[in-house]
Amino acid sequence: MSRNHQKGGEPSQRMLRVGELVRHAMSELLARGALNDAVLDAHVVTVPKVKMSPDLKLATIFIMPLGGKDATEVLKALDHHKKFLRGEVARKINLKFAPEVRFKVDDSFDNSARIDALLNSPRVRQDLNQDLNQDSSTEDPAAEDGSAPPPDATRREP
């Protein structure tokens, strides 16, 4: 089960299922305001994903404050309440062992914004326009006016 994941393979179905259970439990705790913390009360925190270790004893919880502001302060506040959150997650999901929780800022939003910026850069647009121009110049001009025979018709040379 875990050998493929340790070598960089895909996580197992069980890891994915438990990760989703942890994600839902953590999202509910943060939305409900179960923690008495001024930093967490001032921010809306989303939990986009949770990665579980192959033995299900470690949950890496990726978080993102709304707008990406004050991420380090939110991480510090969550780390401060780590024991309480672990106990609450353990009560909500039924596992043999309560997973140890670790918090990280989710950088997938930054990565997707960077990729969008690269795709919209003038260099890439120039390359795309060149590809479009080359594709249109290699097409048969007779095919556009309908005078060319259909592709399935066979030609016979005299």
- Residues 66 and 25 both lie in one domain: yes
Are residues 11 and 51 in contact, defined by beta-carbon separation less than 8 angstroms? Answer: yes
Q: Which residue has the higher pLDDT, 25 or 136?
A: 25
Please write the tens of the pLDDT for every residue from 61-88: 999 988 778 888 999 999 999 999 999 9
Average pLDDT over residues 45-61: 93
47 and 118 in a common domain: no
**Based on the domain organization, do 60 and 128 belong to the same domain?**
no
Please write the tens of the pLDDT for every residue from 90-119.
999 988 888 999 999 988 777 777 888 888
* Highest mean predicted confidence (pLDDT) among 2-6, 39-43, 134-138: 39-43
Distance between CA atoms of residues 10 and 148, nearest Å = 50
Residue 35: how many other CB atoms lie within 10 Å: 17
Per the structure, how many domains does the chain have? 2
Distance (Å, rounded) from C-alpha 37 to C-alpha 58? 24
Q: What is the pLDDT of residue 85?
A: 92
- The verdict on residue 125 lying in a domain is yes
Beta strands, E only, 26-143: 45-52, 58-65, 100-105
pTM (2 d.p.): 0.68
Do 57 and 112 sit in the same domain of this protein? no
Nearest-angstrom CA–CA distance, 76 and 55: 26
67 plus 131 within the same structural domain: no
Confidence of residue 1 (pLDDT cuts 50, 70, 90): very low
Say which residue, 38 or 59, is predicted with more confidence.
59
Q: Which domain holds residue 7?
A: 3-106
Asked if residue 92 and residue 128 are part of one domain, the reply reads no
Cα gap 73→75, rounded to integer Å:
5
Residue 156 lies in a domain: no
Same domain, 17 and 84: yes
Cα(30)–Cα(3) distance, rounded to whole angstroms?
34
